[in-house]
Structure 1
Amino acid sequence: MSININSKLDSQNSFWDINLEGELDVSTADKLKEYLHGLVEQEVVDMKINLSSLEYIDSTGLGVMIGVLKKLRTNDKEIYIINPKSNVKKIFTITGLDKIFKVEG
């Protein structure tokens, strides 16, 4: 199980454009946590996280995203979840996190 993370800062529109590929679970969550917190330290702007290539997410992965969202919200910023696969979107819906995050697609 692995995860690939790519990001770029869209300074014109003021957001991080992030792509996740693979599986986000207990074995990869720390990598994502470190990565996202590093981005927040560089620039506190909204995050658009594209999940179109994410095959799986578990509660540990959701916890990482919630932690980062809390940090962003102290500065009135949001996390947008873009294009999640149906199985990943279902996890957001079942947990009610589709009302916490801005889920698009």
Structure 2
Amino acid sequence: MSMNISSSMDIENDFWNISLQGELDVSTADKLKEHLHSLADKKIIDMKINLTNLEYIDSTGLGVMIGILKKLKISDKEIYIINPKSNVKKIFTITGLDKIFKVEG
């Protein structure tokens, strides 16, 4: 399966609003990595990643998110994980990443 990414900057509140749809795995992780790094290269601000329509995430996808979080943390910025489905949220909980990312919903 593929993954669709949409993003926009919330200028008023100063964060990137990113939505993922589909599956984030080894076949789609590079696409997300390039997208997130290009946003961070434009402006280092908090990222809110909406996972409402993300069906699946694997360790490669988590690795991409950890990588961009490290880049943001240098400037004291965060990644907020918004509305993950229960199976996706469970992955964040099992791996302990729910304590590193701000998971909401």
Structure-2 separation of matches of 1:33 and 1:51: 16
Superposed CA deviations along residues 16-66 of structure 1, whole A, max 9, x for unmatched, are: 000000000000000000000000001110000000000000000000000
1:69 — aligned with what? 69
Structure-1 separation of matches of 2:80 and 2:25: 19
1:19 — aligned with what? 19
Report the TM-score, using the length of structure 1 for normalisation.
Answer: 0.99
Query: Which 4+ runs in 1 deviate beyond 2 A?
Result: none
1:47 — aligned with what? 47
What secondary structure does 1:9 align onto?
strand
Instruction: Give the partner amino acid of 1:65.
Output: M
Within-5 A mapping of 1:1-105: 1-105=1-105
RMSD: 0.3
Between the two proteins, the alignment pairs up a number of residues equal to: 105
Shift of 1:100: 0.2
- Paired-residue identity, %: 77
